[in-house]
Amino acid sequence: MERRAVERVRGTQDLWPADARQLEVVRRRLEEAFAGFGYRRMDVPVLEPAELHLRKSGLEIISKLYAFDDLGGRRLCLRPELTASVVRAFVAQPAPRLPVKVFSSGSVFRYERPSKGRYRQFTQSGVELFGASGALADAEIVALAMDALDRLGLVDYRVTIGHVGILGELLSKLGLTGRVRTQLLESLEETRRHGLDAIRGRLHELDPDLFDPLGDDPVERTLPAQSDGVGEEHVRASLTGLLSKMGAERLGRRSEGDIVERLLRKLRPQSHREAVERALEFMERLGGIRGEPREVLGAGRDLLQAFGLAAAPLESLDRTVHLLEAFGANFHRVQLDLGLSRGLQYYTGMVFEIDHAGLGAESQLCGGGRYDDLFRALGARAPIPALGFAFGVERVKLALEAEGRPSGEPRAADVFVIPGTPEYVPFAARVATTLRRAGKRVDLDVTGRPLKTSLNYADREGYSQVAVVGEAEARDELVRLRDMGDGREQALSLADLAREWPAEGARPPGGAQLPRAAEAGRGH
RNA sequence: GUGGCCGUAGCUCAAUGGUAGAGCACUGGAUUGUGGCUCCAGCGGUUGGCGGUUCGAGCCCGCUCGGUCACCCCA
């Protein structure tokens, strides 16, 4: 016989009743808020084709995916988040009418190094809103996330809102596409933490032509500086003109056309490089703009103007912020941060995070934003505007505890029924059942240990009432409910109790302050 | 993924390199079945695991597993 205990998988948790209950209460309150905004519950599988997440997620999440082959040879994964599954479900079977407002909760899995507030299996609870573009939808989503935390009585949280569309617009204007664009979008937040050189290094790995030292060729040095928006045809034309002026016969035997093409080839990386440099400069300045909404919007407009960009994303943010006020959000908890980028690459517009000061390193409670391109990426015929967010339920629980408002040990039941002696066990079972049918939560003592020990236990566990049933009770067909506070007893005849069943609106006298639905509907 | 700290009874923690302990919890008794207080006794350990150094390791060293803190990243 193997004596060594089987250990819990790293990064997972066993939740004993007090913690399990608290997590359940948190999740339920969040979901109540979602429902209060007209969102409906939807469930999606824990198992998904690995491809679903490989196609849409950033490298960071992909590298942490729990992926494996099932016995049928399918490449599967445990979901690392919920949004992709909900979108996949919609793409496979579109809802008859937009908009779609749904919420879902459940376990998600990421192979990360565990620490406090960071687990390999954790619970997300979030919403998705499909089919609405514009600031009102953006504001509703943020207001909903804040309302959910307010319902829980959380105080010390901070909402940070940004907009990745600003940088996206610049990159488009500079003609930056593909992996370089993706890399830059993902790096926005990194610029202020690690500086531009860190980003340059990463880009160089991606494309070695970027940030190579310039050659010494004097001709290359005199080439016209490439700036944004200048097409290759234009460059070819001006190069040809330049060569004519220099006198082509002095450049050897090659034809003018050959030379131009060769220079263009050398030039292409450089123009690319300069576009990237311009993007980096923009990112650095953008990243510095954060704080109180009005100031950020002002500074943002100045920057966009300096780079000749349309102010549309900022105006959208402006409207979102104003609508947030109209939603009655706690405005002093909101700040704007134009350098906020979020790691998931599929975000396209407004993005936001909610952090809590009491959590240390893993302080983010919630993250979300707009992901208008995700439907196309997952195979939808038409683009559908979409946005959403997810809470980390365990982190919200930790935040509540950090603010010193734990739910307290839940009382197991209202009444503890103790058989006085073994021979009255059947009668005790009958008493317990009668009380339950009369609407009480009843815990029957099944240990058979000495009465004194059981009473001691009942007292320490905090039962408000105890019923010891023995000879006298069995003879008279009654139960004596003893109040554990003042010791007074109340005799109830079983016949009277039975008449209450099924009693209309029977309510347990105590311990009902927590959601009743948590108990109902279990184990069926 | 990087660096630091920590792992001793169910829980919280002690123990100069020299016989593994306390409080709480649990079981029994004082009290011949009616709680909380008190007192007494009992149960409970491969000191996370494997290896090394040493006459001797909970303690020192290496690896490993787990936790935690700071990075990183995210929720």
Strands A386-392 and A121-130, by their bridges, are antiparallel
**pLDDT for res A199:** 79
Each residue's pLDDT tens digit, A233-278: 666 777 777 777 666 555 555 666 777 766 665 555 567 778 888 8
Element (H, E) at A270: helix A256-287
Residue A343 CB lies within 7 Å of the nucleic strand B: yes
In a domain, A299, yes or no: no
A244 and A365 inside one domain: no
* A306-313, Cβ contacts within 8 angstroms, sequence gap of 24 or more: A307/A170, A307/A282, A308/A173, A309/A166, A309/A169, A309/A170, A309/A173, A310/A169, A312/A165, A312/A169, A313/A163, A313/A165, A313/A166, A313/A169, A313/A349
Could you tell me if A120 and A65 lie in one domain? yes
Taking 50 as the threshold, does the pLDDT of residue A228 lie above it? no
**Which among A353, A381, A402 is the end of a domain?**
A402
A452 and A367 belong to one structural domain: no
At how many degrees (to 10) do helices A17-36 and A393-402 cross? 110
The answer to whether residue A8 sits within a structural domain is: no
Residue A104 and residue A58 in one domain? yes
Flag whether A90 is in a domain: yes
Average pLDDT over residues A334-360: 88
| Alpha carbon distance A251, A305 (integer Å) | 43
**pLDDT over 70 (residue A510):** no
Q: According to the model, what pLDDT value does residue A462 have?
A: 83
Interface residues 112-141 of A with strand B (CB < 7 Å): 112-119, 122, 124
CA distances, A318 to each of A289, A293, A387, A412 (Å): 15, 8, 18, 50
Looking at the fold, whether A334 and A387 belong to one and the same domain comes out as yes
- The residue out of A402, A427, A449 marking a domain boundary is A402
- Place A512 in a pLDDT band, splitting at 50, 70 and 90: very low
pLDDT band at A224 (very low <50, low <70, confident <90, very high): very low
Contacting residues 394-413/A vs strand B (CB within 7 A): 394-395
User: Does A216 or A446 have the greater pLDDT score?
Assistant: A446
Local confidence band at A447 (pLDDT 50, 70, 90 cut-offs)? confident
Range name among A61-75, A100-114, A179-193 with the lowest pLDDT average: A179-193
Decide if A3 is inside a domain.
no
CA–CA separation, A32 vs A26, rounded Å? 10
Q: Is the CB of A5 under 7 A from strand B?
A: no
| pLDDT, mean of residues A403-416 | 71
For residue A202, being part of any structural domain is answered with yes
A42 and A140 together in one domain: yes
- Local confidence band at A363 (pLDDT 50, 70, 90 cut-offs): very high
A129 CA to B48 C1' in angstroms comes to: 47
* ipTM associated with this complex: 0.85
CA of A8 to C1' of B62 (A): 26
* A417 CB-to-strand B distance under 7 Å: no
What is the mean pLDDT of the segment spanning A401-409? 68
Query: Which nucleotide is nearest to A480 if distance is taken from CA to C1'?
Result: B34
CA of A191 to C1' of B69 (A): 25
Residue A408 reports pLDDT greater than 60: no
The pLDDT of A198-216, averaged and rounded, is 62
Q: Strand B: which of residues 242-271 in chain A lie with Cβ below 7 A?
A: none
- Å between A3 CA and B47 C1'? 17
CA dihedral (A445, A449, A455, A456) positive or negative: negative
Total domains present in chain A: 3
Q: Is the CB of A427 under 7 A from strand B?
A: no
Q: What is the mean pLDDT of residues A45-49?
A: 96
Nearest to A354 by CA among A364, A368, A340: A364
**Cβ atoms of residues A428 and A399 within 8 Å:** no
What is chain A's mean pLDDT, rounded? Answer: 83
In a domain, A444, yes or no: yes
What's the CA A350/C1' B9 distance, rounded, in angstroms? 54
> Does residue A293 lie within any of the structural domains?
no
Contact A337, A161 (CB under 8 A): yes
**Do both A383 and A489 map to the same domain?**
no
**pLDDT at residue A250, rounded to an integer:** 52
Question: In this predicted structure, what is the pLDDT of residue A229?
Answer: 43
Full residue range of the structural domain in which residue A421 is found = 415-518
**Both A149 and A110 in a single domain?**
yes
CATH of the domain at A100: 3.30.930.10
Q: For residues A392 and A505, give the distance between their C-alpha atoms in angstroms, rounded to a whole number.
A: 36
Name the percent of chain A lying above pLDDT 90: 48
Residues A55 and A93 in one domain: yes
CA of A485, C1' of B75: distance in angstroms: 43
Bases of strand B lying below 7 A from some protein CB: 1-2, 26-29, 31, 33-36, 46, 65-75
Residues A229 and A279 in one domain: yes
Q: Which 50-109 residues of chain A approach strand B with CB closer than 7 Å?
A: 58, 60-61, 81
Helix then strand then coil, in percent of chain A rounded to 5, is: 45, 20, 35
Residue A522 identity? R
> Half-sphere exposure of A400 toward its Cβ, with a 13 Å CA cutoff?
23
- Identify whether residues A366 and A491 lie together within a single domain: no
**In-domain check, residue A302:** no
- Which of A402, A436, A453 is the endpoint of a domain? A402
A15 CA, B45 C1': Å apart = 25
pLDDT at A227 over 60: no
Alpha-carbon distance A363 to A86, whole Å?
Answer: 26
Backbone angles phi, psi at A325, to 5 degrees: -60, -40
CATH number at residue A483: 3.40.50.800
Lowest pLDDT segment from A187-191, A331-335, A349-353, A484-488: A187-191
Question: Please, which pLDDT band fits residue A192 given cuts at 50, 70 and 90?
Answer: confident
Residue A395 sits in the same domain as residue A421: no
